[in-house]
Amino acid sequence: MNLFKSTAVVSFFTLLSRLAGFVRDAISAFFFGVSVWTDALAVAFRIPNFMRRIFAEGSFSLAFIPVLNEIKAQRDEVYLKQFVNHVFGSLLAVLLVVLAVLELLAPGVILAFAPGYLDNQVLFDETVNMLRITLPYLLFISLVAFCSGILNSFGKFAVPAATPILLNLVLIFSMVYFRNHFNLEVKSFAVGVLIAGIVQLLFQIPSLINLGIIPKPVIKFHDPEVKKVMTLMLPTLFGSSVAQVNLLIDTMIATFLPLVGSVTFLYYSDRLLEFPLGLFGIAISTVILPKLSHTFALNNQIEYQQTMRWAMSLAMFVALPSAVGLLILAEPVILTLFGYGEFTAENARYTSYSLMVFMLGLPAFVANKVLLPAFYSRKDTKTPVKIALKAMLVNVVFNFLFVGVLYYFKVISLHAGLAMAGVGSAWLQCFWLYRKLKEHKVITQTLLDRKYLIKLMASVVFMGLVLVFLLFYFSSWIDLRWYHRFLKLILIISVGVVTYLFSMWALKAKKDFA
């Protein structure tokens, strides 16, 4: 399976997952609206979700897959299965200990990440209760990441990419049918998270059986290959997910902001950011990591360079128009997806502010997903973690700087300042990562052809002008029925996509694509 086909498979199932995610968020917005309880739910879900991204999808996968591919290339099947068993047993043991500690210290965790709730004891206690319900998700989804790493390494991308769809389907079912069974309706979402983790893990098992690899838990921390994974994994706890660390810091600060719903506004805008980021950035990263690891193990520098150039060219082909499109259409998109029931037009406007800011950083977020595997495929974990720590510190400074400036000018939407900080740190991280790859001669040529970039920018500008004109022409959104909103939005987006693709074709950009 070639890289483009593999990326298409991952992107297709990621698209289905994101669409299901939008339905999930639309139902959540309709039933729950924006309140202190939706803020509490966002905090309770964000913490295990944060742990999942840095521990499961991020840190573990980035350490496990290169070692697994190296063993595949150099050792026999028996040794590979032993390695899988040892990693499985060691991972399970660590996860159980981490889960037990987090459950025990749940009040302290909420105190650390949502200190603004301490003044409201009922809110604080309910947030702790929801956190304890959602925490086991970390265990199950980390095992899902383990299974997905094996399948991806063997070129089986469909099942791992389709697995997140189940999370959204289970959450939708839970909110629709279980919300009236709790004193707080939002708890139905938390229970759905727990159930979804179990369902996702069970979904992976048949594929492993068909592959002939059925992991058995054997705890052997002293295994040299397990030690290698652990050695690679520890630094990547920061390096792979600085954006998520920044988002958690944003959540912590947002609990102090005077505007009720600030955490929820950031949550919904981040969900929309995750659509293009997951659809293409993470998809490309998922596909190229095994490829880069394999070509590095074979010392094939030509193919290594070609893979990086191809990945960045494709990433920017999608990221730049997505960023401009969502920047221009931020409020109509949010009104169309979420602006019903308890979710008001004012809620949509406040959410659109942070979404527009996030779009200024989308190309950097996507580029980071492409650049990081270049380090991890070579088992260089120290460099990205140093850069990540710098970016995180910059984000904290920017948080106080931008929020302070907005507060000085009496801006109500202070949460937009938190989004500004995340965008600023993402661009700096992107610059530092690229510079180090050039210094270490991992990248020996520019990842984007200059002619291709100029044509790309020209096409994006033309598309943006068309979208602004259409948005001005279709100015009314609030009073429309939901199907009219969707029809208008689909029409505008379709025209924008056709305009962009036609411009790229007219400028003959394909011949400059890596």
Handedness of CA 372, 378, 380, 381 (dihedral sign): positive
The pLDDT tens digits of the residues spanning 367-416 come to 998 898 888 788 787 888 888 889 889 999 999 999 999 999 999 899 99
pLDDT of residue 53: 63
As given in the structure block, the two tokens for residue 218 are 């054997």
The candidate with the shortest Cα–Cα distance to 315, out of 483, 452, 151, 142, is 452
Rg, the chain, Cα only: 22
Question: How many whole angstroms separate alpha carbon 318 and alpha carbon 278?
Answer: 12
In this predicted model, what pLDDT tens digit does every residue of 419-432 receive, in sequence order? 999 999 999 999 99
Q: Helices marked H in 240-378 — which ranges?
A: 242-254, 262-276, 283-297, 301-328, 330-338, 345-376
Q: pLDDT (tens digit, 9 = 90+) per residue, 226-250?
A: 888 887 777 666 655 565 667 678 8
Rounded mean pLDDT of 86-110?
A: 91
Confidence bin at 95 (pLDDT 50/70/90): confident
* Token pair listed for 142: 């980390």
**Helices 224-239 and 345-376, interaxial angle, to 10°?**
140
**Single-letter amino acid code for the residue at 330:** A
63 and 236 in contact (C-beta within 8 Å)? yes
The candidate with the shortest Cα–Cα distance to 39, out of 107, 130, 108, is: 130
| Residue 67: CA count within 13 A, CB half-sphere | 24
Burial class (CB in 10 A: 0-12, 13-18, 19+), 508: exposed
Q: At what angle do helices 106-113 and 77-104 cross, to 10 degrees?
A: 80
Give pLDDT, residue 1: 46
Chain Cα centroid distance, residue 173? 23
Q: Which tens digits make up the pLDDT trace of 191-204? A: 999 999 999 999 99
